[in-house]
Amino acid sequence: MQILVTGGAGFIGGHIAQSVVEDGHDVTVLDNLDPYYDVGIKRHTIDICREAAQASDGSYEFVEGDVRDADLVDRLVAEADVVYHQAAQAGVRTSVDEPRKPNEINVDGTLNVLDAARDGEIERVVLASSSSVYGKPEYLPYDEDHPTTPVSPYGVSKLAGEQYARVYNEVYGLPTVSLRYFTVYGPRMRPNMAISNFVSRCTNGKPPVVYGDGSQTRDFTFIEDIVDVNRTLMTDDSADGEILNVGSTGNIDIHTLAEVIRDEIDPSLELEYGEQPTGDAQHTHADVSKATELLGYEPSTEIREGVSQFIDWYQDNRDWYEPLVLQS
């Protein structure tokens, strides 16, 4: 199959691109290499995908460009069978400082993809959404019927994107699925996330810094589980038109997470605390029963196991990854 991955040099998109090219599919990646964090991590991902293509029957093409470029998006989508739309301006805190940019990319860019897809013969558009659409919990775990009241411009932009995808399915018959990711982590993850920050600091003998009092809870989802559900959607039409939670079904408070990482790397370190940023959700916890029913989704990696795997990967890749984390 011909697969287009927007944002395919990023963390999640890069893992999807690598996985499907290893399976022998022809993959095109569109990414603007935005320096939201050090682009060296993205360039490393591109190199990994190119090597994967050389070792498989698939092909890999990287196109440096932007989903806001409607003509470019039209051309690339016209050549694709399946589109994994992962491109976005990430970052809750960034969106608080600069709300228009996530709207331009996450809403207007998504409309470009959807418009291009409805004019072609796409088998499916899979859209990356976020647990940030929920905002303040009225109950936990979140199911897909929970009210959506985002507390950040980023969450608003993701909600708008997934609703456009739903409407394009209902109005135009475009096969779309939106996946609400819950705090994804794993190898090559963004350096400005809690897990990568904690691991980097502890590895270098510095105490992990917890924002707020650490009582915030997160449903952390291992990258392999995210890749698996996206791969399922390549050929499974059971969820067309749907919006699905994709999480781990468990959660952990940030204070305990910092302790788990500290205890594995350097138990002598003390935790430090900083001010909790505006726009951060207080709690996330996914009910994934809908994804399980429709797609057979079953998360495979509990947070402590996943963190241990990430620490091992960090140590094995420290020579290239750590300098880029420290610069970000």
* Residues recognised as catalytic: 154
First to last CA, the chain: 36
What lies within 8 Å, CB to CB, of 135 at 6+ separation is: 148, 149, 150, 151, 155, 281
- Distance CA(322)–CA(318), nearest Å, equals 5
Burial class (CB in 10 A: 0-12, 13-18, 19+), 328: middle
DSSP state for residue 179 in the 8-state scheme: E
What lies within 8 Å, CB to CB, of 263 at 6+ separation is: none
The DSSP secondary structure of 247-301, one letter per residue, reads S-S--EEHHHHHHHHHHHH-TTPPPEEEPPPTT--SB--B--HHHHHHH------
Pairing of strands 217-218, 252-253: antiparallel
| Amino acid at residue number 92 | V
- Asked whether 191 and 250 are in contact (CB, 8 A), the reply is no
What 3-state DSSP class applies to 19? helix
What lies within 8 Å, CB to CB, of 246 at 6+ separation is: 179, 180, 181, 182, 221, 225, 226, 229, 286, 288, 291, 297
CA distance to 14, 30, 261, 263, 318, per residue, from 267 (Å): 33, 42, 9, 4, 20
- Asked whether 286 and 247 are in contact (CB, 8 A), the reply is yes
- Distance CA(45)–CA(85), nearest Å, equals 17
